[in-house]
Amino acid sequence: MISYQQTEDLAASAKITYLNMRPYYEHYSVDWDCSKIAEQIRDLTNVDILFNGEVVGAIRLGFDNDGCYIRDLQVTEKHQKKGIGVFALAECERLAMEVGVHQLKLRVFKISPAFHLYERVGFAIDHSDDRFHWMSKTI
């Protein structure tokens, strides 16, 4: 069963992001570590993704006048490809609509398999550069 809770341990949550994103950071020679991630996420809406009561991922949202920006959606490698990401995106939509926002936005590495997940659930590419796709979805 998938559930969600407000993140209490930002350091543990940052570690999930670091472990998942490390191959991309290395590929693009980005110098990044858990402390930098923890610093960046402090002021965001941070939500743990739980599977059968165990924290298996993280959602991080930022809100502005233009919508809800999915700053991070991570699922631990062991729990990927089980539909958890699809449910987590539905939770992002729910949280955005709860505050009256009707647009989700995100940025994804072009080489990330998550890109295909975002396409499947209705995100469209707004623009791209050599590393990223910026995508959005109206909800």
- Predicted confidence at residue 21, as pLDDT, reads 86
Going by C-alpha positions, the residue among 51, 52, 137 that lies closest to residue 92 is 137
Q: What is the pLDDT of residue 39?
A: 81
Residue ranges and CATH numbers for the domains of the chain are 2-106 (3.40.630.30)
Q: In the structure encoding, which two tokens stand for residue 53, read together?
A: 């009561």
For position 18, what pLDDT does the model report? 87
Which of 44, 45, 50 lies closest to 4 in space, CA to CA? 50
Q: Give per-10-residue mean pLDDT for the chain (139 aa).
A: 95 90 82 76 95 96 93 94 95 96 95 94 97 96
**pLDDT given for residue 92 in this prediction:** 98
Tell me how many degrees the CA angle 81-87-90 measures, rounded to the nearest 5: 140
Alpha-carbon distances, residue 31 vs 34, 42, 107 (angstroms): 11, 19, 18
What is the pTM assigned to this prediction? Answer: 0.90
The pLDDT of residue 135 is: 98
**Region at 67 (left for phi over 0; alpha for psi -120 to 50; beta for the rest):** left
Per-residue pLDDT, 23:
84
For the chain, the maximum distance between any two Cα atoms, rounded to a whole number of angstroms, is 39
